[in-house]
Amino acid sequence: MFPFVAAAIRRLNEAGLPVIIVTNQSGVGRGYFPESLVHTVNELMTEQLSMGRAKIDAIYYCPHTSAEDCNCRKPKTGMLDRAAQEHALDLRRSFVVGDRYGDVELARNASARSILVRTGYGEGELAWHAAKWPVQPDFVAEDLAQAADWILRQHK
């Protein structure tokens, strides 16, 4: 985990914004790793964040492969719809932060705003693919810290 992640999430926590993780984990459906590993990784992540006094309100993951045609695999909105119901969120006032084009599509599909971070796959996505994307991110951030800055500015 990048060192600035906990501080960025903590600032969102302090502003009273729910922070929720939605992740595709098709490695489960493909049999690459057991579902229990997803839980172990989530626990480690939660633990590390709590050491930085940051809190994740919920984690949703899709264990399916694209062939299973579920309604939760990003960029489908199943996980966001569930998060919206369970945490009383207005998706139109929510932000999707991610490093893949699928996250930009997800935001569009859910009528949320999208932020693409340059960390992870983001830089490569921008360099090699962004020119042909039919949907562009609402904001491109260097990292999660800058994404949090932008969210907090929009939220005011």
Q: Which residues bind Zn ion (CB under 5 A)?
A: 62, 64, 70, 72-73
Backbone angles phi, psi at 116, to 5 degrees: -100, 125
- Smallest gap from residue 55 Cβ to Zn ion (A): 25
Q: Under 8 Å CB-to-CB from 104, ≥6 apart: which residues?
A: 96, 98, 114, 116, 133, 135, 136, 137
Comparing CB distances to Zn ion, the nearer of 48 and 71 is 71
Inter-residue contact 144 to 117 (CB < 8 Å) = yes
Determine the Cα–Cα distance for residues 86 and 50; give it in Å rounded to an integer.
22
Whole-number minimum distance, CB 102 to Zn ion, in Å? Answer: 13
Choice between 62 and 112, CB closer to Zn ion: 62
Which residue, 1 or 37, is less far from Zn ion as judged by CB?
37
Tokens of 58: 């919920």
Smallest gap from Cβ 134 to Zn ion, in A, equals 23
> Which CB atom, from 72 or from 91, has the smaller least distance to Zn ion?
72
CB of 100 to Zn ion, least distance (A): 16
